Structure 1
Amino acid sequence: MPGNKAVIFKGPGSVAVESTEYPTFELKDGPGVNPANVGRELPHAAILKVVATNICGSDQHMVRGRTTAPTGLALGHEITGEVVETGPGVEYIKQGDLVSVPFNIACGRCRNCKEGKTGVCMNVNPDRPGSAYGYVDMGGWVGGQAEYVLVPYADWNCLKFPDKDQAMDKIRDLAMLSDIFPTGFHGAVSAGVEPGSTVYIAGAGPVGLAAATSAFLLGAAVVIVGDLQKERLEQARSFGCETVDVSQGDPKDQVEQILGEPEVDCAVDAVGFEAHGHGSDAQMERPATVLNTVMDVTRAGGAVGIPGLYVTGDPGAADEAAKVGSLSIRLGLGWAKSLAFTTGQCPVMRYNRKLMMAILHDRVQIAKNVNATVIPLDQAPEGYADFDKGAARKYVLDPHGMIS
């Protein structure tokens, strides 16, 4: 049996690559594992040799100490890998298959899964609907920023690439299917982006850039991306986006300069709960700023997609209300404008096969647009530190040196 190494959360501001247990077909006790999940038998699971596993902004929230994540947690929920072993209950996924793994863990059997709501599966997290690998309060499934990882309900969760050689040629793009590309696409779809739409996307991090890419794929006429980081705004402009530097003032004024009117058809919040203010407040944390802005800039009767992460527990919040996820949202404005809102985890499986086909047939260059940057697993701490400073990159970890 081979060894295993994984990226481990050591406490606020610190991660390390450490030796860890090789996966088995049983969920064992460990940091963050729900007691009701300990000892859970997993004959339906597969063990993957990880080919690519990405650093996500959601991981950064934990590493910054902005969640209740326990120390010792193995991180990582964006997984692409080669199947090396399957449990006796796996029928269709085979050893040697190269697969993408949705970050949502889903059973495929419950009511929500059968309705396509795989982000809120009822059977994988005893605390609440919905689960993910290597994430706080998500049931304790071991993270995939590792050399090897276990994927439960493999026949249901694994998206097999039809041709391994073709997939490896496009692995940087295909690595985005586990989370940020479907998440960005979900934000754009939820916002009602269609041919000819004008779109405002708050946040030029990887999810925001994926949402912008998705808006173009859906036929948007104009995509405007707002952010504080000049390097990230430059990355957005590199593939045709208009940009708004929110440190310069109210995004609505800059939207009007671009479009000739202060509103767009659709808006996406790709920032989440660590939002900062605008203009003179740009260096201050203002967790409701983006939610209120996207309501303000969206036309009456429009829609807002909210793939940005919001949490129920934020020990680092600036006030007591925000510590439990209670924010000063201008709901009256949204009501008065008859806006539609969609929140929550992206149900990755709803989109990942379609987006895979778009990648394989050269309809989109998501890796280029998010500036996918491959580094060895051992350099994960440096990747986390660089990403935390606002680097306009999507770091892809390559545990086995398989990405050319």
Structure 2
Amino acid sequence: MIKCAGCQEKEASRLECPKCKKLGIAGSFFCTQDCFKKYWNDHKVIHDIINIAAKAEEEKSATIPPNMRNYAFTGTIRPVYPLSPYREVPKHIQRPDYADDPRGVSACEMAERRTIQVCTPQEIEGIRKVCRLSRDVLDIIASHVRPGITTDELDRICHEECIKRDAYPSPLNYNRFPKSVCTSINEVICHGIPDQRPLVEGDIINLDVSLYHGGFHGDVNGTYPVGKVDEESAELMATTKRSMEAAIAICKPGVAYRDIGNKIEEIIKPKGYGIVRRYTGHGIHHLFHCLPNIAHYGGSKTPGKMEVGHVFTIEPMINLGTENLTHWKDDWTAVTLDGRRSAQFEETILITENGAEILTRYSKNKKKKKKTAGGQAANGVADGDDTPEGAATPTAAQAAQGVESLKVE
């Protein structure tokens, strides 16, 4: 017998509360109309509870774009919209060909030749300059990483620092990417769009900075702890950086490009981490992305060998769990399929006669000169930061010998 929802004694009839029916609350049947009226004040509390819960859920998802409100997120990170207005770049700053294209398409990349470009000494000087500017901007943004700051604020800082250097932020409008830097938090592997979410103590965040200046692109990124992080995340970041350093150290003329992935896998595989296959390193010069493609996993069939004058990035993306990924419905954000964390580090490399030069890194000698008396770097990056600053660029072998452990505050 189904009891009356009012008196809780008599058998319920087919008289159902119309409000409950509208709200989808099952089983609200009463024995008589009089009983329904008598117990109405007590019964309608159920409606209030459901309405409060529904409102809370609506407010919770109000910052999520409509096309993602029913999306099955793999981890805890959620987009927090609305995005800030499009940040303009002054007209006097030289722009890549996609900057003003409605589709964000680079005609030069579409017409890319099928061979790896050997850069001239003049081109190398242009690339070297923009790579150093890119490192400057990354270090400045990283110095602002702290709990409570939003990724949109980090994007504003990046945008303004690019403009100060008469540089265009390469990601802006590239295939319609809406911001000037990629900010990828926790389970986000890459291409995270800066939004209104504040960083939280214990997060890890990858900042991917690229500048266009003097007709050339520079590209560099790093993953940083937000306050104090757990040991698992710290080890993931340290191992990812170590794998990149080891790969850089083998670069020299005649080395097969596939050996980069083999070296990275030597370090990553014993840890049981996943190496992302979907995204690769790439050639870079007057084009943002071009040949060679740099696979970061072992056993790839990547063709080609390194030659003097080749410029490319090495940027392994390493996951705590599976290598598999999926994408949010924003056309960009790549996340781990199991929702576990991911880390990435990137440098731009030039192949020289004697080995390789890390174009996006500075020597420690210059770094010391930039310190203030209190031991703080002039640009706000603390001493002991994972990547040196300065004016001269070390060789890959020098960098491999001088690798510092990732510092977790």
If asked which structure has higher relative contact order (CA below 8 Å, sep 6+), I would say: 1
* Fold match (TM-score > 0.5): no
TM-score where L is the length of structure 1 = 0.28
TM-score where L is the length of structure 2 = 0.28
Between structure 1 and structure 2, the one with the greater Rg is 2
